[in-house]
Chain A
Amino acid sequence: MQCPKCHAPMHTYNRNGVQIEQCSGCRGIFLDYGELEALTRLEAQWSQPAPPPPPAPQAYPAAPPAPAWGAPHGGHGGHGHYGHQRHKSFGHMLFSS
C-alpha cells in the first residue's frame, strides 16, 4: 500500500490489536474504519485503574491415571520417552503384534 499523501510505501503495525498503517516517508498514519474508535477505547481503559490481576494460573490438567508399575515419569509432564519425536522403536511397536 502506498501513502495517499506522499506515495511512499506504508508499513502495517499492530498496536494493541489494532492494525495501523504508517507511511515510511512522511510518517503519516492511516486508520481504517472503526480503528480510531478502537484506539480511543484502549486509551480509556489505560487511564482507568488497573484491572484486577488475572486469576492465578490453573495447574495443568492432571494427567490421566496410570498404574503404579508404570514409568516413573510416564503419563505426565513430558519426561516420558515420547518427547517431541517418537522413538523409532516405538513407531515400529505401534504397528506390531
Chain B
Amino acid sequence: MTADTDTGADAPALISALADRAKAAAHPRTPTAPCSCPSAPLADRRDATVVRHDATVAKAHAPDTDPAALTLRVTTAARLPDLLLPPLTPDTATLHDRLVTFWPYGVPVDPDDPDAAPWEAAATLLARLHRTHVPAGLPPMRGPAKAARALDRLQATLRTTPGTTAHTAARPVLDAWAALPAWARAQAPMPGPPALCHGDLHLGQLVRHPAPDGPWKLIDVDDLGAGVPAWDLARPAAWYACGLLPPDEWTRFLTAYRRAGGPAVPADGDPWTALDVPARALTVQTAARAVTKALAADRPLDEVEQALVDACARMPSVAAGLPRPPRSAPGFPD
C-alpha cells in the first residue's frame, strides 16, 4: 500500500529508528545481522508514524500520548485477539521521545478497491467489541476529543487566514459544532452505560491477520475506550447521511451490526435516535478537517467536501434525533 504521508513529522530520523526497532523485533535472535527484508513506512502522520519490516510493524504514537493509558489500551488488544490485532508484546518502548508499540503485519483493505470493503466484518467486529465487558481502568473513548481537536485546528487556521471568504466557508461548520451537546464536544462525560468502543473507525482500521487471508481484525487502539458505542457507527452513518456512501453499503453495515447483537442502536426501528448526534459530530469533524486542508492549500472545496459543509449548514434547523421518514425512489409515488 502507499504510505499515508498527510503531515510528515520529524520523519527521516524517526522512521529510520523505527525501522531498526521493527527489524530487531522481526529477527530477535539475530537483531544486528544484516538482512534483505525491506522496511517500508506505512504511515507518517501528525499523530502516528508506522514502519513495517517483514512481518513486524513498529508504531510511534502521537507525542502527547499518555503512557499509562496506552498500556491499558494495548493490554486490552492483547486480551481480545479475535477482535483487535494483538500486539507482539504488551510493553511499550520509547524512541525519540515517542512511545513505540510492536504489532504483527496484517493485510489492509485495498485503498484502490474500496468496493471490496468488508462492511459486514467491520460491523460484526464492532458489535462484538461493544458487547465486551469494559476492562477496569480503561480511559474514555477518544472520539469526541478527536473531533474537538479537529475544530481547534480549524480555528487556529482561521486565525492565520486573512479575508472573509475562508471565514464564510467555515461558518456553518463552527455553528454546527457549537450546537452539538457538550458530551459530543468532549466538554462533558459521555451519557449512557459505557461500552468498549474503538473510537476511530474507518476502512484503514481493518486488517487481515494472519496475513494474507486470516480473519479481519481492528487495529489502532489509540482512541479505544469506554463510551457511546454509536460513535463507532457514526462515520459510515455520516457518509451515508451526506450522500457519499451508497444506501446498500450502509444497509449492509447496519444490518450486520444488528444481526451480531450490537447494542449501539435499537434492534428494530429507527437507528437514528442513537446515531444522530454522533453522526452530526463526525460530519462536523470531517468537514472541519476538509476546510482546514483546503485553506492550507489555498484551494476551493471539492464536491465531497462541500457536501459535508452543506450538511453542517442544515443541522441547526433540524432538532437532534428527528429522522427523515424513509422515501421510495424517484419515479414512484410515496
Residues in A lying within 8 Å of B, measured CB to CB: 59-60, 62-71, 73-82, 86-87, 89-97
Contacts and interface: CB of A to CB of B under 8 A. Distances in A.
Given A66-B241, A71-B243, A94 B203 contact: yes
B192 interface: no
Contact of A60 (B111, B314, B315, B328): B328
A74 B243 CA distance: 4
B326 interface: yes
A62 B324 CA distance: 12
B272 A67 contact: yes
B328 A68 contact: no
A68 B47 CA distance: 34
Contact of B279 (A67, A90, A97): A67
13 contacts: A65-B324, A66-B323, A67-B241, A67-B324, A69-B315, A70-B311, A71-B243, A71-B310, A74-B242, A89-B304, A96-B4, A96-B289, A97-B146
B239 interface: yes
B318 A64 contact: no
A97 B142 CA distance: 12
Nearest to A58: B332
A96 B322 contact: no
Interface of B: 4, 6, 47, 109, 111, 114-115, 117, 146, 200, 202-204, 239-247, 250-251, 254, 270-272, 275-276, 279-280, 286, 289, 302-305, 307, 310-311, 314-315, 317-318, 322-330, 332
B241 A75 contact: yes
Contacts of A59: 328-329, 332
Pairs of residues from A and B, 5 with the lowest C-beta to C-beta distance, nearest first = A74-B243, A71-B243, A80-B243, A70-B241, A95-B204
A2 to B, nearest CB: 45
Contacts of A82: 243-246
A73 B247 CA distance: 11
Contacts of B307: 71, 74, 81
B329 A90 contact: no
Nearest to B272: A67
A63 B327 contact: yes
Given A62-B328, A76-B327, A95-B111, 14 more contacts: A59-B329, A60-B328, A63-B329, A65-B325, A68-B323, A74-B244, A75-B247, A76-B329, A77-B330, A81-B242, A82-B244, A87-B244, A93-B286, A95-B204
B325 to A, nearest CB: 7
Contacts of B6: 96
Given A60-B328, A60-B332, A97-B200, A80 B270 contact: no
A38 B272 CA distance: 53
B250 A64 contact: yes
A28 to B, nearest CB: 48
Contacts of B315: 69
